[in-house]
Structure 1
Amino acid sequence: MTTTDTAGALAARRTEAAPVAAAPRGWPGYARGQFLLSWRVFWRNRRSTFIGFLLPVLLNLVVAAPLRDKEIAGVNAAGYTTVGFIGLALVTSFINLLNGVVARRDDLVLKRLRGTEVPPTAIFAGQIGAGGAVVLLQVLVLGAVSVGWFGAELPADPLLFLLTVVGGYLLFAVLAVALSGVTPSAEAAPMVATPVLLLCMFGSGVVAPLASMPDWLQPAAHVLPLAPVVETLRTAWFGRGFGHETWAGAPLERLDLLHGWAHAAPSLLMIAAWVAAAAVLGRRLFRWEPRRG
């Protein structure tokens, strides 16, 4: 851990109790206090800022920029890849949430908060809300790059796009809380988070169509938690039925709003199933106190 990380952690510990004392009574006030605390801690910690905010943006510039003059399935290939990195931003938010929950648990912050009048749901709503605000900022930055620099079109269905971002973020946020229960310490969090990041990045169609993978891998790749999110984000952004496109394939047919939702329905149901599964896992695995032994 760097000096900056240590300073950020110490600052977080000194201010953890502040929102509890300062927040107005009632659930919204407590949640707001936890939100503001998590927001400040995120931007003060250089490691979390790099992984949680800059990493998807920088990777997108490296990977997507050379594709500006190419097309895939009838759309701008750089824009296609950029939308994939919007999906990856949900996974980097998962990494920071996992680190944050485990660190607060090991520092006994969660245990102390649980002993106060702060509702448990407000504790996590504030922390998850702060991560969601970071994701929203990333969506705006990546979307601006896609349209302004790469020349991609504006989203064809903003409502479906926003719903997918919210559903995907909720999936990985709940998953982070659940997996914190099997993460023995903050130092071990990268060993839990990194495989999830790599699996989602290279197995969910972020940088290349799933159809480019070996046939025997494709069925498993389609049910990874990020795969339906990325597929639906692209359908919503470009108004075409993504999911089985290839680099050399013909352009996909444009869909109107009704058919776009119909095409996205199976993926939305899969996202909902993953959220439900992560919630069940969280109820079984989550711990308020540090793991012993």
Structure 2
Amino acid sequence: MSGITGTGAGTARPTGTARDAHGGAPIGWSHYARGQFLLSWRVFWRNRRSTFIGFLLPVLLNLVVAAPLRGKEIAGVDAAGYTTVGFIGLALVTSFINLLNGVVARRDDLVLKRLRGTEVPPTAIFAGQIGASGAVVLLQVLVLGGVSVLWFGTRLPADPLLFLLVLVGGYLLFAVLAVAMSGLTPSAEAAPMVATPVLLLCMFGSGVVAPLASLPEWLRGPAHVLPLAPVVEGLRTAWFGREFGSETWGGVAPAELDLLHGWLHAAPSLLMIAAWVAAAAVLGRRLFRWEPRHG
């Protein structure tokens, strides 16, 4: 992480009002956010572990799990497409892992402490890092969606606007949660121990690869309130234009929905996502630290 420390500290001006290269108008918020974005983007692709977990893992898992399902059905719809949409949701969780690692590493390397002592707005620091991770997620969505449509033969999303809204809400949820959970993570070395349970719970308990109705009855209630569950349900409703949420492996296909009823059906999922974002924001305000937890 020495590259982060050097670049992050080097781009900040310790005193006075920062101005552009010609001494003109003061540098604005967007300039700082862009600098943090470009820094985080470069660091992400240079780190092999973050590239694998944050970009390749959902894509490779989807190929392993969804490809054998071509030509089959889950809940009356194309099984490969059904699973692919689940892995689009899982991409948000892998972005959570990389954001958590990145925030904790920058905190432990004193990058956040140094930036906080400059004129760089705190919101610009996180906007740049979260924006870079969001760009990676968007690239994953294009790859996974392209595989689903061009190889698996799945149709295009029935409601692209609803799909985008659920995706953005879900990403914001896990981005804010990563910042909040960084306050509970003692060091960068401990970050995987914090992130892995979240990944496993979301992957196997949120309907990513199988309907929630396939879980034991006593687990279905808790599974529906996991942070990824409403995201996956909303993404599938928007993609297939059907009433997802209570589907089963071999049951009849959920009812088709027009655009209006699709939004009405997705409203509970959107509200739950908003509730998770609010809860994560409150948790973040209480737990987040600018300096290392120890020493």
Moved over 2 A (4+): 9-14, 17-24
Counterparts of 1:88 and 1:17, CA distance in 2: 33
How much does 1:18 deviate?
3.9
Partner of 2:7: 15
2:180 to 168, 178, 181: 178
What per-residue deviation string (whole Å, max 9, x for no partner) do you get for residues 150-194 of structure 1?
Answer: 010100000000001100000000000000001000000000000
Residue 279 of structure 1 deviates from its aligned partner by 0.1
Amino acid across the alignment from 2:7: T
Offset, 1:253: 1.5
2:5–2:110 Cα contact (<8 Å) kept: no
- Cα deviation code 1:103-154 (max 9, x no counterpart): 0000000000000000000000000000000000000000000000001010
**Match for 1:221: what amino acid?**
A
C-alpha distance in structure 2 between counterparts of 1:105 and 1:147, whole Å: 41
Q: Give 1:69 shift.
A: 1.1
**Residue in structure 2 matching 1:110, options 109, 112, 121:** 112
- 1:19·1:37 contact (CA, 8 Å) conserved in 2? no
When residues 279 and 68 of structure 1 are mapped into structure 2, their CA distance, relative to the original with a 3 A threshold, is: same
Matches of 2:19 and 2:33 in 1, distance apart?
Answer: 9
Aligned mates of 2:12, 2:244 — CA distance in 1 = 46
> Map of 1:39-118 to 2, 5 A cutoff?
39-118=41-120
Measured after TM superposition, the shift of residue 251 of structure 1 is: 1.3
Q: Distance in 2 between matches of 1:236 and 1:23?
A: 45
The within-5 A match list for 1:1-293 is: 9-20=1-12, 24=20, 25-292=27-294
% identical equivalent positions: 85
Deviation at 1:14, TM superposition (A): 2.5
Aligned to 2:24: none
Query: 5+ residue gaps in structure 2?
Result: 21-26
State how far apart, in whole Å, the 1-side matches of 2:284 and 2:137 are. 22
CA distance in 2, matches of 1:158, 1:168: 15
Instruction: Summarize the Cα distance change of 1:160–1:227 in structure 2 as closer, same or farther, 3 Å threshold.
Output: same
Counterpart-to-counterpart distance in 1, 2:93 and 2:137: 10
Contact 1:240 1:252 in 2 (8 A): yes
Q: Deviations over 1:179-222 (max 9, x none)?
A: 00010000000000000000000000001000000011000000
Give the aligned partner of residue 6 of structure 1: none
Q: Distance in 1 between matches of 2:55 and 2:19?
A: 27
8 Å Cα contact 1:20/1:33 also seen in 2 = no
Distance, in Å, in 2 between the alignment partners of 1:281 and 1:112 is 24
Query: Counterpart amino acid of 2:52?
Result: F
- Aligned-partner SS, 2:290: coil
Q: Please give the alpha-carbon distance, in whole angstroms, between the structure 2 residues aligned to 1:198 and 1:73.
A: 23
CA RMSD of aligned residues (A): 1.2
Structure 1: how far apart are the matches of 2:28 and 2:62? Answer: 41
What is the deviation of 1:43? 0.3
CA distance in 2, matches of 1:103, 1:13: 9
Stretches of structure 1 that go unaligned for 5 or more consecutive residues are 1-8
Q: CA deviation at 1:284?
A: 0.2
**Cα contact 1:161–1:237 (8 A) shared by 2:** yes
**Is 1:241–1:253's contact at 8 Å kept on the other side of the alignment?**
yes
Matched-pair contact (CA < 8 Å) for 1:19–1:34: no
What is the deviation of 1:72?
A: 1.7
